[in-house]
Amino acid sequence: MTEQQRLHIDRYEKRWIKISIATLFVFAVFVLAAGFAFGFQVPGAYERVNPQTVTDSGAFAEPGLREISPGNYEAYITAQAFFYTPREITVPAGSKVTFYITSVDVQHGFKLQGTNINVMVVPGQVSTLSSTFEKPGEYDFICTEYCGAGHAAMSGKLIVEG
Ligand code: CUA
């Protein structure tokens, strides 16, 4: 092969290709560290349900708070135009709460103000996220997906008691 037939890559171009590849590795390390070392989580699609029958039986038949073990709660919440059931949840400070939320009609949102809890609530799907609430206070949860005329008024409240 003569010198002319070889693919010529400029010295600087070669350097930037290497830097680009190194950048991908660095980002991959960040993503893995966020997920495994720091516990970042993406809102999960926990399970598929039938929105027409989800409140007939099972956990969503009686939405609300359940204490699984001391300081460890599960909150089952249904969203519908234009309210959440239950509208209000109270836990003691230091509690870990895992939210299970589903919609019985159209797409809604669930954003817990002042926390990183923010998830889409899609009919037919159970969204889940958990968080530990160390600081006493009142946290409003609001609907973040336009769901109709009453969307702006769709809200509820998590009360963390000191
Ligand atoms: Cu429910 Cu917007």
| CB-facing half-sphere around the CA of 138: CA atoms within 13 A | 7
Longest CA–CA separation in the chain, Å? 79
In 3-state terms, what secondary structure has residue 125?
A: strand
Q: Which atom from ligand 1 is nearest to the alpha carbon of 147? A: 2
Q: Which atom from ligand 1 is nearest to the alpha carbon of 151? A: 2
Ligand 1 mean position, distance from CA 146 (Å): 5
Picking from 96, 46, 102, the residue whose alpha carbon sits closest to that of residue 76 is: 102
Protein residue whose Cα sits closest to atom 1 of ligand 1: 108
Q: How do 95-103 and 155-161 pair as beta strands?
A: unpaired
What are the tokens at 102?
């589903």
Q: Which pLDDT tens digits describe the chain residue by residue (162 residues)?
A: 555 667 888 999 999 999 999 999 999 999 898 878 776 666 666 778 888 888 888 889 999 999 999 999 999 999 999 999 999 999 999 999 999 999 999 999 999 998 888 999 999 999 988 899 999 999 999 999 999 999 999 999 999 998
> Which residues contact ligand 1 via a Cβ below 6 A?
82, 108, 143, 145-147, 151, 154
